Amino acid sequence: MLMGLREEILSTLRCSAAQHIRFSFTSVHGDTVSVDHTSFERVASAIVSGAIRIVRSTASDDGDASYGGDEAGNPFEVAPLHHRRMQEAIVLHEAVHASFDLTRSVINRLDNEVAAYIAGTVYLRRTGFPRVRYAGTFEEVALPAVSSIIHHGAPTADDLTRIRGALERDPEYHRDIHWGCTVSSNSCYLIDRGNG
């Protein structure tokens, strides 16, 4: 039986691999940025309650997803997952943004993106997704941080510098990252263009 998009997203947010994502790091401003199973459950609960609404993406690229906390109903726009792990990782990536929004977390845009890419990459690594399938993406850049998290519990400063640098050099993120953010809100999010 085929699941609807809402059920696919809820299933991904509540799956075992997502429930085992847990990490924290120090932001560029010295604050602690944390992601764990409660981040994904918070978003799942908001979807169930209607605080976040699911919108089927009309984009031609299946890797396209976004969370728009600045729009009515906090739309979570995504293409059908169909049990594709890269698409599921993108959902978890966007869920990190949504979770920060729901908790009104103080976090800058750069570290918001760093946390989201790490979460998606932890999911890919834990589910055995072939590394060759995300060569040349931000997920590949995040792999050393994920290895540090799996083996030592946290990313190293060098891991974080590598991801931040890649994001700052990317033309899609560069201009938005430098706007900054005082409180996780409508203005803190970027639309992710598919990268895998």
pTM of the model: 0.84
- Residue 54: helix, strand or coil by DSSP? strand
pLDDT of residue 171: 83
pLDDT of residue 196: 33
The structural domain count of the chain equals 1
d(CA 74, CA 120): 21
pLDDT of residue 74: 72
Residue 133 lies in a domain: yes
Residue 54 dihedral angles phi and psi, to the nearest 5°: -90, 135
Range of the domain at 120: 5-187
Q: How far is CA 102 from the centre of its chain?
A: 14
Residue 57 lies in a domain: yes
pLDDT of residue 156: 97
Q: Which of the residues in the chain have pLDDT under 70?
A: 1-3, 58-65, 69-73, 81-83, 174-196
Question: Strands 32-35 and 23-26: what pairing?
Answer: antiparallel
Residue 151 lies in a domain: yes
CA distances from 107 to 26, 114, 128, 143 (A): 10, 11, 30, 22
Residue 196 lies in a domain: no
Helix axes 85-102, 109-126, angle to 10 degrees: 140
Residue 193 lies in a domain: no
Residue 194 lies in a domain: no
Q: Are 24 and 35 in contact (CB under 8 A)?
A: yes
pLDDT of residue 174: 67
User: What residues pair up with 24 in beta bridges, in sequence order?
Assistant: 34
Residue 28 lies in a domain: yes
d(CA 163, CA 41): 26
pLDDT of residue 69: 59
Say how many Å lie between the first and final Cα of the chain, rounded.
Answer: 27
Residue 142 lies in a domain: yes
pLDDT of residue 191: 33
